[in-house]
Amino acid sequence: MKKINVLKPVLVSNKQRAQENRQKFDRMNSLVINIIASPGAGKTSIIERIVQYFKRKVKILIIEGDIRGQVDSKRLAKLGVDVVQINTLTACHLDAFMTAQVLPKIKKKYDLILIENVGNLVCPAEFEIGEDYKLAILSTPEGDDKPMKYPLLFHLARIVIINKSDLLPFVDFSIDAAKKNIMRENSKAKIFEVSAKTSGGFDDFYLFMEKELNAKKKKGKTKG
Amino acid sequence: MKKINVLKPVLVSNKQRAQENRQKFDRMNSLVINIIASPGAGKTSIIERIVQYFKRKVKILIIEGDIRGQVDSKRLAKLGVDVVQINTLTACHLDAFMTAQVLPKIKKKYDLILIENVGNLVCPAEFEIGEDYKLAILSTPEGDDKPMKYPLLFHLARIVIINKSDLLPFVDFSIDAAKKNIMRENSKAKIFEVSAKTSGGFDDFYLFMEKELNAKKKKGKTKG
C-alpha cells in the first residue's frame, strides 16, 4: 500500500490531463471505474464485493481517495489486492492531476482499476480523472429524491447502484421513485439494486461487469 | 418563499463578508445556525422537528441552500415559517456572498435563523457564512468512522447531532465509537443522539437550544 500526498499543478487543464490518463489506462488495457457517492453510502463495501467476486478471474488495482487517513485502504488491502492511497489533504474530490501522480507507480498490468473517490455527491462528478466511466452509489437511507437534488453525478454516471436494500423496510425510500428520478437525469443509466451488507442482488451487476471486462479484453487483443 | 439565483462576486474575501453578515445578524439579535451534513443525513427532518417545537415560542426563518430545486423549501414552508431559497446552481456549498444576498430580503426580526447548507460533508465546512455556529449531523447508516475521514466539519461544529438512532439495530454503528471519533476532533462538541423520524431523544437538544435562545435575548436586552 503506497501513500501519496498530493500537490496540485495548475498549468494544464484537468480535462486535458484526464485525457492523458485515459490514454495511459487504455494502453494498459485496464477498465477504469470512478466510484462516487456520499460519505457512508457503501463505496468501500461495494468494492469489497467486486474484489471478492473478481479477484480470481482478473487483476485488480484499487486507487483509494480520502481527504486524510488510510482507513479504507487498510480494509481493502486485507483482500489481497494492490491498493494505492491518495490523500487529498483539503480537496473534496480527486482530480486528474492527483490520479496522474499514481500512474508511474503502476508497474503491473491490471484488468480492472477501481477508483474510490472522496465521499461527496457533488464535486467529484465535476472532475474527470481518466476513467472509462463513473459509477454512482445511492444508499436507501439517503432518500429517493437525491438524484433531483444532486443531478450532475446521476446525469454523468453510466452505472447507478442503489445500495442498502436491506434497510428498505426501515427507511422512507421508494425504489420506483428513485429509478424515475435517476432516469429523468439519465435515461441510459444501468441501475442495480443491491445490499453490500447481505451480498444480495449482485448477480446482475457481476454479469454486466463480466461483459465489460470481456469487451475490454477483446478490444486489447484487436489492438495487439 | 423567495427564490434567489446567485452570482458570486469575488472582490471581497469570503471571511470578510461573513463577518459583515454576522454583524447584521447580531444587530437583528438572531441566533444563526449553519446546518451541515451529507446528503440524506436528515438536515430537513431535524429542522422540521426544531420548527415544530419552537415555532410558537420564537420567530424562525429558514434559509434553504440547494444546488437546484425547492423540494425542501416547499416541505418546510408547509410548517408556517418563513423560508428563503438559495439555489447555488453549481456550487457545492453556501458562501458568505450568497448569504449576503438574502439579508436585504429579511424585513422582520427573527429570533432563530436556521440555514440548511448543501448536502456535503466537506466543502460547506470551509466557508463561514455569518453563523453563530455550525451544527453537524451524522446519521447512523453513514458509519461511526466519518469524523475521522471528514475531520474539518467535526473540528468546527459546536453541536453534533447523531441522527437516525432508530436504525441502530440494523446498521454497523457504535455510538461510543462515534462519540470518541467526534471528541478526538473537537473535545468541546455538544453531542446529541436523536431520531428525527420517531422524534426520540430531542429533549436534551431542545433544552440546550432554549438556553442558547435565552442567552441571545438577554444579550440583546443588555445592548438595547
**Gap between the Cα atoms of A44 and A58, Å rounded:** 19
A141 contacts in chain B (CB < 8 Å): 40, 139, 141, 164, 167
**Gap between the Cα atoms of A104 and A102, Å rounded:** 6
In Å, how far is B61's CA from the nearest CA of chain A?
22
Q: With residue A60 as reference, give the H or E element that holds it.
A: strand A60-66
Q: Is B81 helix (H, G, I), strand (E, B) or coil?
A: coil
A69 contacts in chain B (CB < 8 Å): 148-149
Cell 454512482, residue located = A136
Question: What is the β-pairing status of strands B31-37 and B82-87?
Answer: unpaired
Mean pLDDT of B77-104: 93
CB contact under 8 A, A122 and B92: yes
Return the pLDDT at A217: 87
Burial class (CB in 10 A: 0-12, 13-18, 19+), A120: buried
CB contact under 8 A, A119 and B38: yes
- For an interface test with A, the pick among B88, B170, B198 (most A C-beta atoms closer than 10 Å) comes out as B170
CB nearest B149 (choices: A67, A142, A151): A67
Q: Is B40 helix (H, G, I), strand (E, B) or coil?
A: coil
pLDDT tens per residue across span A41-79: 999 999 999 999 999 999 999 999 999 889 999 999 999
CB contact under 8 A, A69 and B149: yes
**Gap between the Cα atoms of A158 and A135, Å rounded:** 6
Say yes or no: ipTM exceeds 0.95: no
Cell 446521476, residue located = A154
> Which of B58, B1, B3, B64 is CA-nearest to residue B31?
B58
- With b meaning 16 or more CB within 10 Å and e meaning fewer, what string describes B67-84? beebebbeebbeeebbbb
Residue pair B173/B141 in contact (Cβ under 8 Å)? The answer is yes
Angle between helices A203-223 and A43-54 (to 10 degrees): 60
CB contact under 8 A, B66 and A149: yes
Q: Is A36 helix (H, G, I), strand (E, B) or coil?
A: strand
Q: Report how many Cβ contacts below 8 Å link chain A to chain B.
A: 107
A181 contacts in chain B (CB < 8 Å): none
CA closest to B119 among chain A residues: A121
CB contact under 8 A, A141 and B139: yes
Return the pLDDT at B3: 53
Cell 444480495, residue located = A200
CA closest to A42 among chain B residues: B142
pLDDT band at A223 (very low <50, low <70, confident <90, very high): low
- For an interface test with B, the pick among A74, A95, A120 (most B C-beta atoms closer than 10 Å) comes out as A120
pLDDT band at A29 (very low <50, low <70, confident <90, very high): very high
As given in the structure block, the three cell numbers for residue B71 are: 423540494
Return the pLDDT at B7: 46
What torsion do the CA atoms of A86, A89, A95, A96 make, to the nearest 10 degrees? -50
Mean pLDDT of B212-216: 94
> Which of A156, A115, A39 is CA-nearest to residue B124?
A39
As given in the structure block, the three cell numbers for residue A70 are: 488510510
CA closest to A124 among chain B residues: B92
Q: Where are the alpha helices (DSSP H) in B55-165?
A: 71-77, 96-102, 146-149, 151-156
For residue A72, the Cα-to-chain-centroid distance in whole angstroms is 14
pLDDT above 60 (res A34): yes
Query: DSSP string of A120-189?
Result: -SSGGGG---S-SEEEEEEEGGG-TTHHHHSHHHHHH-SEEEEE-GGGGGGS---HHHHHHHHHHH-TT-
Mean pLDDT score of chain A: 93
**Gap between the Cα atoms of B195 and B167, Å rounded:** 9
CB nearest A149 (choices: B38, B71, B166): B71
Residue pair B162/B175 in contact (Cβ under 8 Å)? The answer is yes
B122 contacts in chain A (CB < 8 Å): 67, 92, 118-120, 123
pLDDT tens per residue across span A139-197: 999 999 999 999 999 999 999 999 999 999 999 999 999 999 999 999 999 999 999 99
pLDDT above 80 (res B5): no
Q: Distance of CA B18 to CAs A49, B95, B96, B97, Å?
A: 45, 8, 5, 8
Residue pair A47/A114 in contact (Cβ under 8 Å)? The answer is yes
B123 contacts in chain A (CB < 8 Å): 92, 120, 122-123
Question: What is the β-pairing status of strands A31-37 and A112-116?
Answer: parallel
CA closest to A65 among chain B residues: B149
Return the pLDDT at A205: 98
CB contact under 8 A, A146 and B40: yes
CB contact under 8 A, A39 and B146: yes
**Gap between the Cα atoms of A67 and B148, Å rounded:** 10
CB contact under 8 A, A149 and B39: yes
Q: Which amino acid is at A71?
A: V
In Å, how far is B180's CA from the nearest CA of chain A?
16
Q: With residue B135 as reference, give the H or E element that holds it.
A: strand B133-139
Burial class (CB in 10 A: 0-12, 13-18, 19+), A199: middle
CB nearest A40 (choices: B122, B143, B166): B143
What is the CA angle B174-A178-B139, rounded to 5?
20
Greater model confidence, B75 or A9: B75
